[in-house]
Amino acid sequence: MAKTLATEAKTAPIVWRDDARIGEMFEKAGVTGTLVVHDVATGEFTGHDRQRASIRYVPASTFKIPNSLIGLDAGAVADVDEVLPYGGGPTLMPQWARDMPLREAIRVSNVPVYKELARRIGMPRMREGLRKLDYGNMNAGNTIDTFWLEGPLKISAVEQVRFLGRLAQDRLPFPKPAMAAVREIVRQEGAANLYAKTGWYMPDDRKNQIGWWVGWVEKDGKVYAFAMNVDITDDTVAAKRVPLGKAALQSLGLL
C-alpha cells in the first residue's frame, strides 16, 4: 500500500538542532517544557528538549483547529460565521456564556461552542477526520465532546508542527475553502504573518496540567510551524506561554 505524505513524514528521520538561546529562555523564565520550530521547506526542526517534543499530551484547546476543519468538511456548520449555541448552562469563563460563530469562538477559546460543534459532527465523522489528518494517536475514545479535553486523544509537539505545516501549505486532504477559512480565524490580530492557538489541559485533580501554544509564521515566502508545551504548575506559568514563545521566535528571526 502506498504511503501517504503524512506517513512518510512520520517515518522520516528528524533533523534536529538544539538552540541554546531558547533553552536559556526557558530556564530564565522558570518554565519546564519544549518548543519546536519546523522549517517546512527544509524539513528541519529547531528548538528545546527534543525528547519531550516527541511525547504525546492531551491537545486541549489546540484541537479547536482540527475540530473546525472537520466540522466544515462534514457540513456541521455552513461556514465560520454560522452562530452556534453555547447551551445556556454555567461556564468556566464569562465570555463563553453567549452564542457565537467559530470565528469568534476560537479567539476566546469557547469550550461549550466547540463541544456543540463536536456533537454535530458525531463520532463516526470525527474518527474519520482524525484519521485523514493523521492527528496524534487519532483516538477519540467514546465521548464525543470531551476526548480532546480529558483524553484519550494525545499529540506530540513534533506531530503538531507537521499537521500545522500541512494546513499552512494547503496540503491536508480537506477542501481548500475549509483550510483557508481555518487559517483565517487563527490569524493573530496585529501580526499579519502569525497564526496561533493556545491550549490548557486541566484535569479534574488539577495535577500534571499542560499548557500549549501552537501555530505557524510566514516569513519571506516560507512557513515555519511551531509548537510549545509546558508544565503548568501555577497561573503565572500559564501567562508566560505566549510571551516566551514569541521571544523564542524572535530569537530565530521569525517575528
Catalytic residues: 61
CA 8/CA 140 separation, integer angstroms:
23
Return the SS3 of 190.
Answer: coil
CB 59 within 8 A of CB 155: yes
Measured over all CA atoms, what is the biggest interatomic distance in the chain, rounded to whole angstroms? 50
| Contact present, 193 and 245 (Cβ < 8 Å) | no
Q: Which three cell numbers stand for residue 209?
A: 496540567
Q: What angle do CA 39, 40, 46 make, to 5 degrees?
A: 25
Cell of 19: 538552540
Three-state SS at 6: helix
Q: What kind and span of H or E run contains 228?
A: strand 222-232
Question: Residues 154, 160, 166, 168: is their CA dihedral positive or negative?
Answer: positive
DSSP assignment string, 47-96: EE-HHHHTS-B--GGGGHHHHHHHHHHHTSSSSTTSEE---SS--SSGGG
